[in-house]
Amino acid sequence: MLHLAPLARFGDRVATGLADVTGDPAALESTGFWAVAADYEGRLTCARFRDVRQEPVPAPAPGGWRGPAAGDWTSSLDRAAYTEGVRRIREHIATGEVYQVNLCRVLSAPVTPDADVDALTAVLARGNPAPYAGTIRLPGHGVEIATASPELFLRRDGRTVESGPIKGTARTEAELLEKDYAENVMIVDLVRNDIGRVCATGSVTVPDLCAVEKHPGLVHLVSTVRGELREGAGWPELLDAAFPAGSITGAPKSSALRIIDALETAPRGPYCGGIGWVDADRGVGELAVGIRTFWIDRATEGAAVLRFGAGAGITWGSDPEGEWRETELKASRLLAVASDTYEDSGEGPRR
């Protein structure tokens, strides 16, 4: 096992001096600064740190991150399996069982045993900056995550809560389809329902619907859902109501979860979970949806595997090959950055 000090990094804030680790979300209502990692499958890790300071992400150090070879990535679902999954989801939609399902695949590649997600963070900050970028390094607890997430899962400031679901992805705004807008509206309705379970009646609003956001190499449709927590509701109730995020499950959520479980062949882990921080002393916090996320798996003694997830929202209007291409679009830049085949000049992958 590589011995690295526990650390969390969110933007220009870095936390060190691990004080406590728990899986109880009630801890987020106590005191201190917490790093939070929730796997899609439900495992929650909350780590309280003693020391929090402002510190920009360092520039990549020569030899600091040695990523996998570009040709070493393998996928839990190959092209044939993924497109068949899209067809099966459309059959479920045709029978009225579900309206939308997010179908994902996990890509994996071996890395050296001394691989460090904080070194990967420096590379990502240069090659794919993201509004909810973050790192949580807790090797002794099986959590080594570097995310370049563009999506807000939950933000809390006192009693005000907000979610920013992303649905609809294309290379340019002109390439967004009617299906992309329909996806977004369906998920906004689901998120309104989720947040409404723990918010005061009548307080849930949608300040922004289907706004176009530009990110490295692509554009997204992003909406904002906001509400006021009812009396007695806190992080445990909020997570219980909203997790996992609607944008990476589907609608209705219960049906989508069942179909995902039947079609996907690898656990999502931190991908599609929740990653972020909570300052319990100030009553504020921000969790990203764990998309555009890498994590190191050390399940095999003496070996390390880097994993990354990519998916797409499937509706009746989905074209199987088009959905496969969307997962390729979402993954291509990030995998190139992690494998050090991406040119900073904006020309794209070197090979």
Helix H, strand E, coil C: the string for 98-128 is CCEEEEEEEEEEEECCCCCHHHHHHHHHHHC
109 - beta bridge partners?
306
Percent of the chain with pLDDT over 90: 91
Q: What is the arithmetic mean of pLDDT over 54-64? A: 91
47 vs 67: CA distance, rounded Å: 27
Q: What is the pLDDT of residue 344?
A: 55
Q: Is 214 a catalytic residue?
A: no
- Band (pLDDT 50/70/90 cuts) for residue 345 is very low
Our CA angle for 7, 9, 10, nearest 5°, is: 155
Of 91, 63, 102, nearest to 248 (Cα)?
102
Ramachandran angles phi, psi of 56, nearest 5°: -65, 155
58 prior amide bond cis, ω within 30: no
Q: Tell me the domains of the chain and their CATH numbers.
A: 7-63+107-249+268-309+332-344 (3.60.120.10)
55, 97, 144, 151: the active-site residue:
151
Q: How many CA atoms lie within 13 A of 191 on its CB side?
A: 30
Average pLDDT, the chain: 94
Sign for the CA dihedral angle at 83, 84, 89, 94 comes to: positive
pTM comes to 0.94
Res. 2 pLDDT band, cuts 50 70 90: low
- Per-residue pLDDT of 285-326, as tens digits, reads 999 999 999 999 998 887 899 999 999 999 999 999 999 999
Is 21 buried (19+), middle (13-18) or exposed (0-12) by CB count in 10 A?
Answer: middle
Which is the catalytic residue, given 144, 162, 167, 228?
A: 167
Alpha helix segments (H runs only) across 219-339: 235-242, 253-263, 320-338
- 350 band by pLDDT with thresholds 50, 70 and 90: very low
From the DSSP assignment, how many helices (H) and strands (E) are in the chain? Answer: 6, 20
